[in-house]
A and B are shown apart, each in its own frame.
Chain A
Amino acid sequence: MANHKDDPQSYPALGRWLMFVDNPRNVDRICYALYGLCAFLVVLDFFYYKKVYTTVEKIPGFYAIYGFVMCALLVICAKAMRKVLMRDETYYAPYDVESEEFPEHDLDRESHDV
């Protein structure tokens, strides 16, 4: 459905407004904001009474460290799993929907500027 005349002016207003995320400089800004926010949340840990049940939770920034490390491990393990588990889309065909086109009778494809 690639559009022959891809004119941003024809997008919905909200979509046009959100287009700042397409600018790489703004992407960088969002990332820096995220880094700052993470640092701020860790620093916050020193400034309130932390009511916890386990010893590990007392470590300042425990949740942040745990979240970051485990998620990184998750992705790295999952990526390694691909080497063993990944097969072609037609692996189960024709007994599987994966390699089929989605039937048109259940769709209503329409371009935004029609």
Chain B
Amino acid sequence: MFDVLPPFVIYLIGALILPFIKAGNLRSAYSLLIPLIGAWIIWNAPIGEHAQMAFFGFDLELMRVDKLSRIFGLVFSLAAFIGLIYAWHLRDWVQQTSALLYAGSAIGAVFVGDMISLFFFWEGTAIASVFLIWARGTEGAYHTGMRYLIIQIGSGVILIAGVAMHYHASGSIAFDKMTLPMSISSIGDIALWLIFLSFGIKCAFPLLHNWLQDAYPAATVTGTVFLSAFTTKLAVYALARTFPGTELLIYIGAIMTLFPIFYAVIENDLRRVLAYSLNNQLGFMVVGIGVGTELALNGTAAHAFAHILYKALLFMSVGAVLFRTGTAKGSELGGLYKTMPLTMIFCVIGAASISAFPLFSGFVAKSLILSAASHEHYYVVWGILLFASAGVFHHSGIKIPYFAFFAHDSGKRPKEAPMHMLIAMGLASFVCIYVGVFPKPLYDLLPYPVDYEAYTTTHVITQLQLLFASALAFTVLMRTKIYPPELKSVNLDFDVTYRKWLPSLIGYLAIVVSAIFHGVTGFINSSAVKIIKALHHSHGPDGSRAASWPTGAMVLNIALLLGFALLVIYVS
């Protein structure tokens, strides 16, 4: 039935066996084998469709290999491998199992060829990943996990509703290129918008983004590393697969690159700063999908590849700081370079990569997207992306390493990160630099042939100008004390609407409704009391109606009645 075994099967079987391995190191070593086997399968699978399955009259495709799915499959495998090395010390089988199931679902989703299978894996990523948040084991993490789960499952429900309507309208469940209609005139149009919305939620589109900044800093030290890799990049893959060249995405992406950097500047929790910058980086990829040319889509795939690794590296380095000091807040850190110099160096490598310094991975990937935007004459968008590039250096490139490892000395003298964490960070750093220095192997993996030279004189010098001027701005603002200090705080984002305002609005509405209800019932009660009292007054034991009447009164009444009847008969 299957020419090639879909790699998710390996992850599924691997996750089922894992809890039965009791010895800690053995279990960690075993978990590392699974992404290796998965990557080996992906690497060797020829282009084509390899695993069809019948399901309630539908033909499902579980292993569609093309260049787009292959690059995402490979980088997901690499991220899972590095994340599992980083999590070597874990003795919590729940987290290890859910990490495997999460990676397996994401990889499964990348290789499916139909929307029904996609739905299963889409929900799989949601359910598996929430345990990485709950594993923190606090009340706050429980509530955060619930919010995350509701939104993620909601995305899946919207997806399956869209798929059902799309099937009804077109008879197709293919997970392939679609055209988003700009006006809604039929059920098929609604279906496409629902599918788009579902992808948009997972991709953290503006106003749909809050689950990301809410959940990622709430996960465990190791959990965040896994979370950062899969969900959002799966959504990027799904958008690249279905809606390339949708102009709307250019503007959505541009907004996504822009607003998170403002929050990143004032945010105190460094893992949340990274979550905002993750959101900003997704914006670049979404712009690439929107531009939709071969150069742009190559840019999106290359940037997703580079981004997964440097973002994981940054989350790992901040995670190592958290692991050793118990906090990831800028206001409580500083001066850690003295005793955690290796972690600091890895953090700086991640920072240089995300900032797109020449010789680091971000440089060879992000420039494809900027060039594509400029070649297609989206100059305003290009200007925004340029600003966002300078901004990302500002808050991720400088702020993260500076406030964690330098700045004011916090007096904390933690031990260097444990060896397995250093190995994981070292491996990610190696790939970041290798890809930056030798981009060709990455370019060969991209969906379309690459005719692009990243290292031109113009490009290198202009990029260095942008970055060093950004550093200059930071230095000047820091030395003039204009730069906002790190403060213990939360900053209101759009989620305040559903976390505070909506519940308070419902609270106020409840007060109004209950006041009206009490008014009405009070009025009815008091009216009833009045009627009863009036009746009691007239018909009660002492009422006038209750007084005894003489028998003659009845005779008189009957005589009057009979007389009236006689009169009626006579007249008629």
Contacts and interface: CB of A to CB of B under 8 A. Distances in A.
B339 A11 contact: yes
Contact of A45 (B339, B461, B493): B461
B469 A71 contact: yes
Contacts of A102: 136, 322, 326-328
B252 interface: no
B137 A103 contact: yes
A8 B140 CA distance: 38
Given A74-B261, A75-B473, A77-B262, A97 B136 contact: yes
Interface string A1-42: 111001010011011101101100000000100110110011
Interface residues of B, number: 85
A37 B202 CA distance: 41
Q: For this complex, into which size category does the number of interface residues on chain A fall?
A: 35 or more
A34 B269 contact: no
A111 B415 contact: yes
Contacts of B342: 12, 14
Interface string B467-492: 11111111111010011100111111
Please provide the 5 A-B residue pairs with the shortest distance between their CB atoms, ordered closest to farther. Answer: A67-B469, A71-B473, A97-B140, A78-B265, A112-B339
A22 B338 CA distance: 10
Given A11-B338, A34-B472, A71-B390, 11 more contacts: A2-B413, A12-B339, A12-B342, A18-B337, A42-B465, A63-B463, A68-B470, A74-B394, A75-B483, A86-B490, A97-B140
Interface in A83-111: 84-89, 91-111
Nearest to A13: B341
Nearest to A70: B387
Given A75-B483, A112-B416, A81 B489 contact: no
Contacts, number: 242
A21 B406 contact: yes
A64 B139 CA distance: 47
30 contacts: A1-B414, A2-B412, A2-B413, A12-B342, A22-B409, A41-B461, A41-B464, A44-B461, A45-B465, A53-B374, A67-B473, A71-B470, A75-B474, A75-B482, A75-B484, A76-B482, A78-B266, A79-B265, A82-B266, A85-B491, A92-B499, A94-B140, A95-B139, A96-B143, A102-B322, A106-B221, A107-B221, A108-B324, A111-B413, A114-B415
A105 B222 CA distance: 13
B144 interface: yes
A72 B464 contact: no
A71 B484 contact: no
Given A72-B477, A110-B324, A105 B390 contact: no
B234 to A, nearest CB: 25
Nearest to A113: B413
B317 to A, nearest CB: 15
A78 B262 CA distance: 5
Candidate in B379, B413, B475 with the most chain A CB atoms within 10 angstroms:
B413
What DSSP secondary structure best describes chain B's contact surface? Answer: helix
A57 B418 CA distance: 47
A88 B490 contact: yes
B411 A3 contact: yes
Contact of B465 (A2, A67, A101): A67
Contacts of B33: none
Interface string A52-74: 11100100011111111011101
Contacts of B491: 81-82, 85-87
A1 B470 CA distance: 34
A98 to B, nearest CB: 5
Given A21-B406, A50-B458, A74-B394, A68 B138 contact: no
B127 to A, nearest CB: 21
Given A18-B337, A78-B262, A78-B266, A109 B463 contact: no
Nearest to A99: B140
A48 B472 CA distance: 23
A12 B218 CA distance: 31
B175 interface: no
Contacts of A114: 415
Contacts of B328: 102
A19 B415 CA distance: 17
Contacts of A108: 89, 323-324, 418
A22 B135 CA distance: 39
